[in-house]
Structure 1
Amino acid sequence: MAVWALGLNHTTAPLDLRGRFAFAVDQIAPTLHGLRESHARHPEAAILSTCNRTEIYCASDRPEVDHTLDWLAASGGVSPGLLRSHTYLLQDGQAARHAFRVASGLDSMVLGEAQILGQMKDAVRAAEDAGALGTTLNQLFQRSFAVAKEVRSATEIGAHSISMAAAAVRLAGQLFEDLGEIRVLFVGAGEMIELAATHFAARNPRAIAIANRTLERGEKLATRFGGEVMRLADLPDRLHEFDAVVSCTASTLPLIGLGAVERALKKRRHRPMFMVDLAVPRDIEPEVKALEDVYLYTVDDLAAVVQTAQASRQAAVAQAEAIIDAGVQSFMHWLGQRGTVPLIQQLNAQTDAWRAAEIARARRLLARGEDVDAVLEALSRGLTQKMLHGALAELNAADPAHREQTAQAISRLFLRSQNKNGL
C-alpha cells in the first residue's frame, strides 16, 4: 500500500497562490469526488485546507503522485511546473512524518499552536462523510492525533507560542497609544475571528462590531463580547467608523475593496486605520496596503511577530521529534504488515483446504474400520507432505546460482527451532 501527500504552505508558496487552492467546507466533498474520479485507481483521499496550507493525502495500492499534482494544478488554473516549484511531494514514511508534525503544531507558522489539530480532525470528518476515507488514511490520521496528544502532554511545545490573534493585538498596540479608545470591526464569525475578538476584548476597546453574512451567528458572537452586529452589505458605508478591522471569511472574492477604504479614510480625515486580513483567499484587496494611512497585515506579514521565544522551545521541539519518530516507525510497520494480508489470507485458505481434505480422508478410513493409530499416522504424513511439497519442488528446480539462496530461505521457514539452537 502506498501513501502520499502533496501540499503547499506558508513557507513554500506566496499568499495569492495559496488562495487559488483554498477549499471552503462546502467544496470539500465535491472536490474529493473529482480528485478520486480523476485517478484510475480511485485512491483514498483527504484534503486539509487552512489559511496557511492546502494538503492532499492519498493512499492506494500504487502511488500516483504526478497525477495528483496535475489534477491540483488544473483545479487552481496554474501550470503543473509552476505548482511543483511551490509544493512538497512526500511518500510513505515521509508523508506520515509530515502528517504527525502538522498535527503536533511543529509545521505551523505559530510553533506549537493547537488550532491545526482541530482543523485536521475536521478534514478527516469531511473525508469520511464524503466516502473518501479508507482503512489506511484513517489509520494514518488516528495515529497523527495520538502522536499530537502525546507531544502536547509530554512536552512544552505550546508553552511559548503566540497566536495570530495575539500578534494582531500586539501590532495594534504599536499603532494606537491606548487600545481602550479604539473601535474594532470583525468581519466573519468563524473560529479565527472568535479567537481574535477574545484577544481584543481583553483590552476593553471602546466598541466592538461583528459583520457577518449570517446575522444569527454574528449576533451570538456580538452578544458574547458586548458588541453590535451588522450586515456585510452595510460594511462599505460604515467602514469609516472603525479604527481597527480584522477580517477572516470563506469568501472567494475580496469583501473590502480599495475604493471603499479610500472613501472611509476621507470621512476619517485620514486618521490611521489598522487592518488585518487573516483570510485565504484575501478578504481585503492587496492594493489597500499602498494607502498612506492604512496599516494592512496579512497572515504572512504576521510571521515575524509570532516567531518569538524560539530558543526556549528548541528542547521541546527535540522531544516532540523523538515522539514523532517512534510514531512513524510504528505506522510504517503497520503499513508493511498490511501488504502481506492477502498472502496470509491465501496461506490460511490453502492450509484449511489441506486440513479439510486430510480429515475427510481419515474419516473415510475410520468408517471402514481401519486402525486408529494407522489413520492418525497417515493424516499427519499427508499434511506434512502437502506443506513441504512446494518448498522441496522449489529447491530441486532452483538453478545453481540461486539454490543456496533458496536453501537458506527454506531453512529459515521450516527449521526455525534448529536455527535458534544454533544447529
Structure 2
Amino acid sequence: MSVDVITFGLNHTSAPLAVREQVSLAGELMKPALTALRSAFGGAVREAAILSTCNRTEIYCAAEPSAARELPAWLADFQRVEADALQPHLYRHSQDEAVRHAFRVASGLDSMVLGEPQILGQMKDAVRTAEDAGALGTLLHQLFQRTFAVAKEVRSTTAIGEQSVSMAAAAVKLAQRVFGDLRQVKVLFIGAGEMIDLCATHFAAQHPARMTVANRTIARAEGLAGKISAGTMRLAELPEHLAEYDVVVSCTASALPILGLGMVERATRQRRRKPIVMVDLAVPRDIEAEVARLDDVYLYCVDDLGRLIQTATDARKAAVVQAEAIIETRVQHFMHWLGTRRVVPVIRDLHEAAGAMRAAELERARRALARGDDPEAVLEQLAHGLTQKYLHGPLAALNQSEGEHRDQLLTWLPKLYPLRER
C-alpha cells in the first residue's frame, strides 16, 4: 500500500481563537496523542508528529491515503469536539503540498508575524517529542531535516525576518496606547515560558516602575525575574495582588483560565476605575473572554495582536517572493528523493527475482555436471535457461496485450532492453 506525506490541521487564518483553543495540545499530551493516533489507525499511519502552538495545531504524518480522510474525525474525537463544528476550519495537504506547507511554516511565511523565528524552535520541539515517542521514521525524519535546512537558508539569504514586529513588541505598543510612558506602570507577567521571557525583555526596555513574575513554581519564576530585576509570586497569590498591576501579560500552558471574571472584577473595583491592560497570549486562553466586557479593562488576545502586526514593508514583501522561490526548488528536490525512495522496493524485488532465477539455473547446471554431462552442453543449457527466463516476462506481456497497452509496451521495451537498431 502506498504511503503519502500528509499535513492536516488548522491555524490562525482558517480558525478563530475560540476554535483553536479547543484542539490545542499541551506538551504533556503530545506523546499520548501520538500513541493514540497510531493505535487508532494501526499500520495505516506509519509515522506522525504533532505541532501545537498558539496559532496552529497540525498533524504531519506518513500514512495511507485512506487514513487521511479519517484524520478529522480522530482529532475531533480525541479532543472531544463536535466534528461538524471543527470541519469548516480544517485543511489537509498531501505530497508536494504537504512538503511545501512544512517548509513555509518553518520559514515563518505562514505565521501571524511574518518571519517570526519562534515557530522553527517549536517545530524542532515537536520533532523531538515524536522521536521520543517512537513515532518518527525515515520519511518524516528526512522531511523535517530538509525543512530545518530550508528555514535556515531562507533566513540567511533573504530579509524575511528583518524589521518583524513580534508579539512581545506588539504587547508593549498596546500598553503604550493606554498609558503612554510606561515608566510609572506596574507590570505582571503570568507564566515563565519563552513567550513571557520575550515580553518581559521588551517591557524591561521601557523601565516600568515595577515588574513581577507569577508562576506555579517559584524556582522557574525566579530564573526569569533575575534577568529583568523583577519580583516573584505564586499563582495562588494572584487574587490578593492583581489590583496592584496596570499591565498583565499572561501565557501559560493551563487548560483552564487562570484569571476569571470574578477575580478581575474585584481587582477593578479595588483600582477605582484606573484602567488595566490585559494581554492574553495563551491558547487555550488564560483570561476568560467575558473580562473584556468590564469597564476600564483593555483585554487583548493573540488574534488582536496579530491584526496589529499584519503590515509588511516593501523589502519584506520582496523577501517573501525570494523565500517562496527557494522553497519551491527545495520542494522539487524532496519530491525527487521521495520518488526515488519509492523505486527502491521495486529494485530490491527485481534483484531478488533475478537472484532466485540465477540460483535455480546454477543448481540445474551443477546437477548436470555431477551426472557427467558434457560441460559445453551444460554451459549452453545454462545460457539458454537464463535467456528464456530473462525474456519470459516481457514476451508474455507483449503477447497478451493489445491496443493502447501494446503501444505503450512497444515504446518502453526498447528502453528497458538493449535492442538492436533496425
2:125 aligned with 1:122: yes
- In structure 1, runs of 5+ residues without a counterpart are none
2:353 aligned with 1:322: no
- Post-superposition Cα deviations, 1:258-303, rounded to whole Å, max 9, x if no partner, equal 1111221222222111110000011011111112211111000011
Residue in structure 1 matched with residue 7 of structure 2 by the alignment: 5
Separation in structure 2 between the aligned mates of residue 286 and residue 302 of structure 1, nearest angstrom:
15
2:164 aligned with 1:161: yes
- Post-superposition Cα deviations, 1:62-82, rounded to whole Å, max 9, x if no partner, equal 342221101112233333232
2:308 aligned with 1:305: yes
RMSD: 2.1
User: In the alignment, residue 272 of structure 1 is paired with which amino acid?
Assistant: P
2:367 aligned with 1:396: no
Residue in structure 1 matched with residue 137 of structure 2 by the alignment: 134
Residue in structure 2 matched with residue 348 of structure 1 by the alignment: 351
The question of whether the paired residues in 2 share the 8 Å contact of 1:4 and 1:63 is answered with: no
| Superposed displacement of residue 122, structure 1 | 0.6
Residue in structure 1 matched with residue 213 of structure 2 by the alignment: 210
SS in 1 for 2:65: coil
**Seq. identity, %:** 58
The question of whether the paired residues in 2 share the 8 Å contact of 1:2 and 1:63 is answered with: no
The question of whether the paired residues in 1 share the 8 Å contact of 2:52 and 2:58 is answered with: yes
Residue in structure 1 matched with residue 287 of structure 2 by the alignment: 284
Residue in structure 2 matched with residue 92 of structure 1 by the alignment: 95
Which is further off, 326-335 or 165-174? 326-335
| Superposed displacement of residue 15, structure 1 | 0.7
| Superposed displacement of residue 32, structure 1 | 1.2
Residue in structure 2 matched with residue 20 of structure 1 by the alignment: 22
- Post-superposition Cα deviations, 1:300-324, rounded to whole Å, max 9, x if no partner, equal 0011221223432121111111111
- In structure 2, runs of 5+ residues without a counterpart are none
Which is further off, 136-145 or 11-20? 136-145
Residue in structure 2 matched with residue 254 of structure 1 by the alignment: 257
2:43 aligned with 1:41: yes
| Superposed displacement of residue 235, structure 1 | 0.7
Residue in structure 1 matched with residue 248 of structure 2 by the alignment: 245
Runs of 4+ with deviation above 3 angstroms:
357-382, 399-402
User: In the alignment, residue 327 of structure 1 is paired with which amino acid?
Assistant: R
2:114 aligned with 1:111: yes
- Post-superposition Cα deviations, 1:346-373, rounded to whole Å, max 9, x if no partner, equal 1110111223334445556667788877
SS in 1 for 2:304: coil
- Post-superposition Cα deviations, 1:118-163, rounded to whole Å, max 9, x if no partner, equal 1011111111111111222222211111111111111111012111
Separation in structure 2 between the aligned mates of residue 344 and residue 85 of structure 1, nearest angstrom:
43
TM-score of the superposed pair, with normalisation by structure 1:
0.93
SS in 2 for 1:296: strand
Separation in structure 2 between the aligned mates of residue 209 and residue 86 of structure 1, nearest angstrom:
38
| Superposed displacement of residue 414, structure 1 | 0.6
Separation in structure 2 between the aligned mates of residue 77 and residue 249 of structure 1, nearest angstrom:
22
How many residues are matched?
419
Separation in structure 1 between the aligned mates of residue 140 and residue 394 of structure 2, nearest angstrom:
37
Separation in structure 2 between the aligned mates of residue 373 and residue 225 of structure 1, nearest angstrom:
91
